[in-house]
Amino acid sequence: MKSWFLILCGAALLLSSIGMLWWSLRTRRDLQGLARQRIQDVLRIEPDIESERSTLLARLLKRVGASQSGAAGRMRAWQLELRTLLTQAGWHNRDARALIKGIIFLVPFAAALIAAVTVLGAEGGTARGTAGIFLGFGAGLLLPRYVLRYQAGRRREQIIEEVPVMVRMISVLFEAGLSLEGALKTLRDEARGILPHLGVEIGRMLTRVEAGMDRVDALNQMARELDIQELTDAVSVLSHTAVAGGSARQSLARIADVIEDRNRTRLRERVGRLSAKMTVVMVVFLFPALFIFLAGPGLVAIAGALGGVR
């Protein structure tokens, strides 16, 4: 009875804190709406119509995430890592980022509450219930980050495969007489099917340039956010071309060759790891079946012969 009273008190405190947070954030909705509209007018970003139709729970999670992403001057290391992972994973929409941050913030408490209800509701001691609450909180704290890191790493691998194609296409566009900004705009508008992920990042970089940022700084910021060595090398050549001018055909061709060599080396390493995994699969599944198929009839005959001897 005491455990159920503690569970109900914890749930009531959690719900009341969420309600108070939602109420305090609701009072600032008009000011945030005006600021968002101003940013959209400056950057020429289309408003997200679907976010206006979101449910009450989604809005609450967005508000919680927005509150966690505030106060950039006091942002901690894990918040910086979270922002970098969201960028690398392709979550660029402001409402989507706030929603994910809110989910990451609330999942540990929800997991702890579920663990408390599950463990304390069953027969067991208080120590077991406390351990279950801590384990649930830890799992809810770590699991979303591991999922986000996996998604970010997978998207970075896809971008690595797109970088040589981007470099070759920029080299061809330079030979056609286009400038750096014109070549990047062409990739953004015409090469989305070939560069699905990198085209989005190029579009964000050009949006910063249109908003007033220097193109070299925008290129360096894109490479710094994605943290991909191949893209950093390509951006360094493009930045040097934008500052000093001249022909970048040979430099881009050399960079493309180096990136392709790295990709081939990475593919060989992946094939080597796959061979080791297939060896384990063969030992576990194929060899027992082969042994049964080849030696089974002989063993059955020997067993029958020995069984007839009395």
- Between 56 and 78, the more confident residue is 78
Confidence class for position 60, pLDDT limits 50, 70, 90:
low
Residue 259 structure tokens: 């990136």
Backbone φ/ψ region at 75: left (φ over 0), alpha (ψ -120 to 50), beta: beta
Q: Terminal CA-to-CA distance of the chain, rounded, Å? A: 69
Q: Could you write out the DSSP letters of every residue in 11-39?
A: HHHHHHHHHHHHHHHHTTHHHHHHHHHHH
Q: From the CB of residue 243, how many other CB atoms can be counted at a distance below 10 Å?
A: 9
Backbone angles phi, psi at 211, to 5 degrees: -80, -5
Confidence class for position 129, pLDDT limits 50, 70, 90:
low
Contact residues for 115 (Cβ-Cβ < 8 A; gap 6+): 132, 133, 135, 136, 137
Q: Which amino acid is at 216?
A: V
Question: Does 294 fall in a domain?
Answer: no
Q: Please tell me whether residues 127 and 194 are part of one structural domain.
A: no
| 157-208 residue pLDDT tens | 889 888 888 888 888 888 888 888 888 888 888 888 888 888 899 988 999 8
Question: Does 131 fall in a domain?
Answer: yes
User: For residue 195, what are the domain limits?
Assistant: 157-262
- Between 94 and 59, the more confident residue is 94
Residues counted in the chain: 310
Output the pLDDT for position 295. 80
Worst-scoring range by mean pLDDT, 63-77, 103-117, 264-278? 63-77
Q: Please tell me whether residues 96 and 201 are part of one structural domain.
A: no
Q: Please tell me whether residues 164 and 150 are part of one structural domain.
A: no
Q: Of the candidates 64, 91, 69, 87, which has an alpha carbon nearest to the alpha carbon of residue 79? A: 69
Residue 76 structure tokens: 């901690």
The owner of tokens 């455990």 is 3
Q: From the CB of residue 72, how many other CB atoms can be counted at a distance below 10 Å?
A: 9
Q: Please tell me whether residues 63 and 163 are part of one structural domain.
A: no
Output the pLDDT for position 56. 54
Q: Of the candidates 134, 160, 299, which has an alpha carbon nearest to the alpha carbon of residue 228? A: 160
Question: Does 285 fall in a domain?
Answer: no
Q: Which of 227, 244, 262 is the last residue of a domain?
A: 262
Worst-scoring range by mean pLDDT, 71-80, 124-133, 157-166, 262-271? 71-80
Across residues 106-132, what is the average pLDDT?
72
Q: Please tell me whether residues 7 and 127 are part of one structural domain.
A: yes
Across residues 92-102, what is the average pLDDT?
83
Question: Does 77 fall in a domain?
Answer: yes
Q: Please tell me whether residues 141 and 6 are part of one structural domain.
A: yes
Q: Which of 262, 281, 299 is the last residue of a domain?
A: 262
Residue 45 clears pLDDT 50, i.e. is over it: no
Q: Please tell me whether residues 67 and 15 are part of one structural domain.
A: yes
Residue 76 clears pLDDT 70, i.e. is over it: no
Residue 146 clears pLDDT 50, i.e. is over it: yes
Confidence class for position 47, pLDDT limits 50, 70, 90:
very low
Q: Which of 129, 154, 179 is the last residue of a domain?
A: 154
Q: Please tell me whether residues 175 and 150 are part of one structural domain.
A: no
Question: Does 295 fall in a domain?
Answer: no
| 240-262 residue pLDDT tens | 877 776 667 778 888 888 888 88
Question: Does 110 fall in a domain?
Answer: yes
Output the pLDDT for position 72. 45
Residue 228 clears pLDDT 80, i.e. is over it: yes
Output the pLDDT for position 283. 81
Confidence class for position 61, pLDDT limits 50, 70, 90:
low
Q: From the CB of residue 299, how many other CB atoms can be counted at a distance below 10 Å?
A: 11
Question: Does 281 fall in a domain?
Answer: no
Q: Please tell me whether residues 147 and 16 are part of one structural domain.
A: yes
Across residues 96-119, what is the average pLDDT?
82
Question: Does 137 fall in a domain?
Answer: yes
Residue 216 clears pLDDT 70, i.e. is over it: yes
Output the pLDDT for position 11. 65
Worst-scoring range by mean pLDDT, 25-39, 108-122, 190-204? 25-39
Q: Please tell me whether residues 150 and 17 are part of one structural domain.
A: yes
**Structural domains in the chain (count):** 2
Eight-class DSSP state of 47: P
Question: 27 exposed, middle or buried (CB, 10 Å; 0-12, 13-18, 19+)?
Answer: exposed
Residue 148 structure tokens: 């986000």
Q: Please tell me whether residues 150 and 174 are part of one structural domain.
A: no
Q: Please tell me whether residues 147 and 6 are part of one structural domain.
A: yes
